[in-house]
Structure 1
Amino acid sequence: MASGEGGAESGRPATIDDVAALAGVARASVSRALNDQANVSAKMRERVLRAAEALNYRANPQARSLASRASKALALINCPALDAEPNSYYFAALELGALRAAAIAGFELSTLNVDANDPRRGEKVIELFESGRTAGVILPPPLSDDAALAATLVERGYPAVCISPSDAVRALLPGAGFDEQAAGKQIAERVLAKGHSRLGYLLGIEGHFSAEKRFAGFLEALAEAGLDPDAVTVLRGDFSFRSGVELGQAMLDGAERPTALICANDDMAVGALFAAHRRHLVIPDDISIVGFDDAPISGRIWPPLTTVHQPIRRIAASALDQLVEIVLRGQPPRPRFETIGYHLVERESLAPPRD
C-alpha cells in the first residue's frame, strides 16, 4: 500500500505528503493542484484530487494561508561569482527597481544569490518552484543567458522573466533590456568623432551576452569607419574595479599606448582611471577613458566619466511588472521583449587626442 494509505490506516489524519505519495507527484505539485494554481496540468490535478478524496485529506487552514502568501512571493535571482569582487552598482540597481515595482503591485520580492560557478545553479532555480517558495522569478545575467534553464522553465510552465537575455533565451522567455549593440556602436562613434584611431578595449566576462553585444556594436562602428579591428588592443576583464586597475596598467605600459580606452562597464573604467592617475597621466589629455552603465560613481570621480546610461532600475521594474502579469493571468510565459531607452552621457573624460 502507498504510504498515504498507511498513514490513514494508522488513525492519524492524512497529510499532504501522504497525498503526494499516493498520487505519485511532488509535494509542491499537490499544493498547487489543491490551491487551483497555474502550471498544473488537468491530468495531474485530477490525479491529486482523487488521491486526496481516497485519503479523506483536509487541508490545514494555516497551510492554505501560507500557500496564498507563496502565490504572492517572487524572487530576483542574482548570480555573481561569489569568490569574485562584486559589481558596485548593477545588482543594487536591479534590486531597487524590482522592489519598488513589487511594492506597487502588492507582491513580496526576495533577493537570492546563486553562485555563478555552481554547476547546480539551474537546478537551484527549479527547486524554488518545486518547494513552493516562489510563484515566479526574475533572472539577470548570466542566468538569462542559460538556454537549458530557460527550456526547463518553459517545459514545466514556471513563470520567469529575464533581464537582458541572450538571443536563444529571448526566443523562449519574456524579458526586458535595451539595445546593447546600438549603445556600443554609439559610444564608439563618439570616440571616433573625437579623432581617436589608436584604441584599447576592456571586455567583460567571456560569454556574457550583453557585454559581447556592446563589443559587437563597437566593432561595427570601426568597420563603418574603415578601421581594422586588429588595430584595437583588446583585454578581457571581469567587470570589477580590480580588473580595471590591472588591465588598465597593462594598456598604459604597452608598447603603443592607446589614446582612448573603452571599458565594458564603469567599475573597470574607474579602475583604469585609477591606474592612469597612479602613473601621473592627465585625463583626457594623455588618454581618454570611457565607461558603460552610468553608475553613480561615474559622475563623482575626477574627471567624470563619459559613459552610456543603462536604465537598470527601469529594466528591473519592467521585468517585475511582466512577471506579475504572468502570475496573475495563470498562464505559462510567452516570449516577449520590452526594449527600454538608453542615452549617452558625455563628460570630461573624453576629448580629442593630443597627438
Structure 2
Amino acid sequence: MAGQTLEGTSTGKRPTIDDVARLSGVGRATVSRVLNDGPNVSDKMRSRVLEAVETLGYQVNLQARFLAGGANRTVLLIFSSDTESEPNSYYQAALETGALRVCAQTGFELVTHSVVQSGADVETRILHLVEESRCRGVILTPPFSDWSNLVRLLTEAGTALVRISPGSSEDPGAPGVGMDDEAAGFALARHLLDLGHRRVGFIQGLAEHLSAERRFLGAMRAFKEEGLDENAIVSRRGNFTFKSGTDLLPELIATDPRPTAIICANDDTAVGALFAAHRDGLDVPRDLSIASFDDTPVSALVWPPLTTVHQPIQEMSARAMQIIAGAGGSGGVAPQSCELLPFTIVERASVASPARR
C-alpha cells in the first residue's frame, strides 16, 4: 500500500475500524471478519487489512466489541475457604484488585466465589458454578489450582482457565501465573544464614497448598547447601492464620536448642508469631528474628515491621486476566507452563543477626 495516504489520522485521535477500512480499500464488514478470524476472506484481502492495522496502530476495543455483540464477559475467580479458620482477606482482595484492573480495560466482568475446599463434591460444585454462569473463563487459586482432575474437566469443557500459583508441574493442562516459591524460600533462608542464623523454626501453611510447601523446601535446600543437617530447621504445621502464629510460636521456642529465627508461611501467621513473642517477653529481633512471605500491608504496620518476601499478588491475577482476555472467542487457552513473576525480599526491622548467648 505504498503511496497511499489517509486523511485525518494525524490529528492524534485513536484510529477506528473505519480508518482501517479506508486505508485497506475494503468494506467495514470485511475488516470485522478479518479481525474476528472469520470466513470468506481471501488471503490477499486479509493481508491488506492486517497491513493497514499495523500501519495505523489500530487496537481492537474489546469492551466495545462485547457490549455490541452481547458476548458473555464474565470471568469467575474461585477461592478456597475453610470453615475452621478465618480467610486471608488481603490475599483475596489483592487478587480481585489485580483482575478488576484488567477487566476495566477489556470489558470483562469479574465474579468471585468462595468454595469450602473440604466440602462434599467440591469439583461438582465448581463445575456447576462454571456451567451456570456460562462464563468466558475461570481463575483458580490454591489449592484448586493444583487439582489435576478439576483442571482436566474444566479444560475439556472448553473453559479458558488460568491457575494462580500452581505448586506442581505434573499437570500443564492449563497455564499458570505465580512466583518461584521454592526460590523465594531459598532466598529468605539464605538471608538469615548470611546474618548468622543456624537454627530456624518454620511455621508452615496448609499441606494442600503446594506452592507454600515449596517455600519450605527452598528453605531446607538453603540450609543443606550451607552444610547443615535437617535438624537445623524445626517445623510446625499451621494454616496461614494469625492463630497459627500465636499457637505455634511457643512450641518452636521451647525446642532445644531454641531457634534464633522464625520463618512463617505468610504475613498473617508472622503477625501472630510477633504477638506471641511480645506476650512472652521476647524482644524482636534481639532475642528472636521473624520473617515471612507476601508483603501484605500489615507487614509494614506492626512493630517491628516484618522482613518479608514480596509476592506480586495483584500482578499475578492481572496477568491471569490478560491471558483469558487474549483467548478471545477461541474457547480456551493453549496449555503452557507456569509464568513466573519476579519476587523480592523486603528487609525490615524484624530480622537481625542472632544475639550471642
TM (normalized to structure 1)? 0.78
Could you tell me which residue of structure 1 aligns to residue 340 of structure 2? 339
Q: Distance in 1 between matches of 2:218 and 2:154?
A: 31
Report runs of 4+ in structure 1 exceeding 6 Å deviation.
none
Letter in 1 for 2:188: I
Distance in 2 of aligned mates of 1:313 and 1:169: 25
Aligned residue pair count: 291
Residue 306 of structure 2 corresponds to residue 305 of structure 1: yes
SS of match in other structure, 1:167: coil
Aligned residue in 1 for 2:246: 245
Q: How does 1:2-41 map to 2 (within 5 A)?
A: none
Q: Which residue number corresponds to residue 127 of structure 1?
A: 128
| Cα displacement (A) at 1:169 | 6.0
The offset of 1:330, in angstroms, is 3.6
Could you tell me how far apart the structure 2 residues matched to 1:115 and 1:315 are? Answer: 23
Letter in 2 for 1:178: M
1:273 and 2:306 aligned? no
Segment drifting more, 328-337 vs 223-232: 328-337
Q: What is the CA–CA distance in structure 1 between the aligned matches of 2:122 and 2:346, rounded to whole Å?
A: 36
What is the aligned partner in structure 2 of residue 111 from structure 1? 112
Q: Is residue 286 from structure 1 mapped to residue 287 from structure 2 by the alignment?
A: yes
Which residue of structure 2 lines up, in the alignment, with residue 158 of structure 1?
A: 159
Q: Distance in 2 between matches of 1:252 and 1:331?
A: 50
Which residue of structure 1 lines up, in the alignment, with residue 213 of structure 2? 212
1:108-127 deviations in whole A, cap 9, x for unaligned? 11111111111322112211
Residues 260 and 288 of structure 1 are in contact (CA less than 8 Å); yes or no, is this contact kept in structure 2? yes
Residue pair 2:159, 2:332 contacting (<8 A) in 1 also: no
**C-alpha distance in 2, partners of 1:135/1:335?**
19
Aligned residue in 2 for 1:263: 264
Amino acid at match of 1:227: L
Q: What 5-or-longer segments of structure 1 have no aligned partner?
A: 1-64
CA distance in 1, matches of 2:300, 2:327: 38
Does the aligned pair in 1 maintain the 2:139–2:164 contact within 8 Å? Answer: yes
Q: Deviations over 1:285-308 (max 9, x none)?
A: 000000110010101111010010
Q: Is the 8 A contact 2:155 2:332 kept in 1?
A: no
**Structure 2 unmatched runs, 5+:** 1-65
Asked if the contact 1:150/1:169 (under 8 Å) is kept, the reply is no
Identify the residue that residue 86 of structure 1 maps to in structure 2: 87
Within a 5 Å distance, the mapping from 1:163-182 to structure 2 comes to 163-168=164-169, 170-182=171-183
The amino acid of 2:306's aligned partner reads L
Whole-Å Cα distance in 1 between the matches of residues 132 and 103 of structure 2?
22
% identical equivalent positions: 44
Calculate the TM-score normalised by the size of structure 2.
0.78
